[in-house]
Amino acid sequence: MADPHASGDYQRGTQEISEQVSTFHLVMMLTKWGSLGTVAVILFTTLILSTGNFFTSFFSAIVLVVLGVFLLREKKKAH
């Protein structure tokens, strides 16, 4: 039986993780913008079904998207 505490070729912290990092950032970006889009569509459909006024519903959804883009955009990193 193999000794679980035997040292091998693996050394913690030495693997290349750039692919995992870029995949993580892609998933976070898609989650963030996908959530904003989903909320905007839900707001629009809820308002159109409850009020029946297309323009008010559309304007409210557009305001939400503009506000969301402003708040969710990537911040410039301080060097």
List, for residues 19-56, the tens digit of each pLDDT value.
999 999 999 999 999 999 999 999 999 999 999 999 99
pTM, 2 dp: 0.74
In the chain, count of helices (H) and strands (E)? 2, 0
Q: Are 61 and 40 in contact (CB under 8 A)?
A: yes
Residue type present at position 13: G
| Burial status of residue 61 (CB atoms within 10 A of its CB: 0-12, 13-18, 19 or more) | buried
How sure is the predictor about 4, in pLDDT bands with cuts at 50, 70 and 90? low
How many percent of the chain have pLDDT more than 70? 86
